[in-house]
Structure formats: C-alpha cells, structure tokens
Chain A
Amino acid sequence: EVQLVESGGGLVQPGGSLRLSCAVFGFTFSSHAMSWVRQAPGKGLEWVSGTTGSGGTTYYADSVKGRFTISRDNSKNTLYLQMNSLRAEDTAVYYCAKALLWSELDYWGQGTLVTVSS
C-alpha cells in the first residue's frame, strides 16, 4: 500500500527556517518524480516544488525560488523541503505528492501545518 507521511511542520518566526520530511512506503521511490504542494488556510492549492526521480532536476514556484530547496534521499525513501527566510504568507498545510509520470499527482500525504508568526 502506498503511503506518504509528512513531518517537520510547526510554528516558526518570520525569517526562520524549517525542514519538512516526507517518508514514503509501498512503491519504488527512485522511479517517481515527487512534488510539494501547499494550501494556505481557506485557500486553494499552490504547487511549491518538484523533483525528478533521481533528484537531478528540480523546479520551484516563483514565490519560493531562492528560499526553498527540494531534495530527496532515495536510500531512505524520503523527500525533503528545506524552507528558509520564511514569511507569514508561507503559512499553509504542506503536502508531499507522488507523481504518476511527472505532473499527475496520484498519491498525497496527509499534510503538515507550517505556521509563520511572531
């Protein structure tokens, strides 16, 4: 059974950093692209970042470029999102998602809440 389990969310002050993790189970992790998608309270979905199966190619939304870094450890079946210089507008539930091929996000985690506030 495919499972994605996010962790690492919490309360952080503006300007602070946080690293999210997404542990995956039930599929060959290295064979699939992965993405992070966030949802601010009461708002819609916003894609944050994506990476290929090898981790060799990464993409970012303009809103996080230069502040966030996506990475993966295929030996640990884990996806990461390093978030630096956090702003209030980064407050959201962050989901990790597995891609069927590239952009078809066919499995999602339960999400982890990140709150940026002083």
Chain B
Amino acid sequence: QSVLTQPPSASGTPGQRVTISCSGSSSNIGSNTVNWYQQLPGTAPKLLIYSNYQRPSGVPDRFSGSKSGTSASLAISGLQAEDEADYYCAAWDDSLNAYVFGIGTKVTVL
C-alpha cells in the first residue's frame, strides 16, 4: 500500500491514447513536483517525466505529464508495442520526509 494511488493496470491497442492517474495528498503531490518512471521487463527504471511535465532528452513526445492539485497523470499517445512496461509515479512527501512511489501501473498493449 502506498501514499500515492495508481491503478494496477491499463491497456490499449496500438495507436490509442492511454492515461494513468496518480492520486496523493497535500503533503506530497499537493506541495511537490511529480516524476514518472518507466520500467521495461527485466531492466532498471528510467526517468520518463520530471517536474510534472518535463521530458528528459530522448523521451518521445508521445509521453506527457500533468498535475492538478493533489493528482497527476501520465498520458501515452499513439501507443506502441514497445510501451508495454510498468509505470510509476513518485513525489517527495513533506510529512514523511521521504520519496514515495505509487504501486505501479502495468500497461499492456493489446
């Protein structure tokens, strides 16, 4: 159980748009920026989105992030087979003085 709530799974067909939600509270998402990580099977996590909506160099613009209040979301447009992975949201929590991850959302490309 995590302080950040994500759906355990999401799916879509190639070319579709998939959105993953991340719900927190005033002590984490409400007062700090949100980061998103992609973890392909058997590999280390990769930073996908930082500071709510910024993309690191090399991340396709099919991936976008947003934040409103105590919630954030990750959108994948034009879903591709290679996007099949686990996606985690994360944020610093001022009450816990700790970095917290969501439980992760497994995205399946149908």
Please determine whether chains A and B interact with each other in the same assembly. Answer: yes
Residue of A nearest to B98 (CB): A61
Q: A27: CB under 8 A from chain B?
A: no
Verify A45–B92 contact, CB threshold 8 A.
no
A46, A50, A61, A104: the one contacting B35 at CB < 8 Å is A104
Contacting A at CB under 8 A, from B20-35, are: 32-33, 35
Closest 5 CB pairs of A and B: A104-B50, A47-B99, A108-B44, A44-B104, A45-B101
Are A44 and B99 neighbours in the complex by a CB distance under 8 Å? no
* A104 in complex: contacting residue of B51, B97, B103, CB < 8 Å: B51
Name A's B-contacting residues (CB within 8 A): 35, 37, 44-47, 50, 59-62, 95, 100, 102-111
* Interface secondary structure of B, over-half rule: strand
Inter-subunit contact A62/B50 (CB<8 Å): no
Complexed CA–CA distance, A61 and B44 (Å): 20
Q: Which of A44, A59, A61 counts the most B-chain CB atoms under 10 A from its CB? A: A44
In angstroms, how far is the closest chain A Cβ from the Cβ of B3?
12
Which of A62, A103, A108, A111 is in CB contact (< 8 Å) with B90? A103
Q: Is the CB of B46 within 8 A of A108?
A: yes
Picked from A35, A61, A95, A103, the residue with its CB within 8 Å of the CB of B91 is A103
- Min CB–CB distance B29 → chain A (angstroms): 12
Among B33, B47, B101, B102, max chain A CB count under 10 A is at: B47
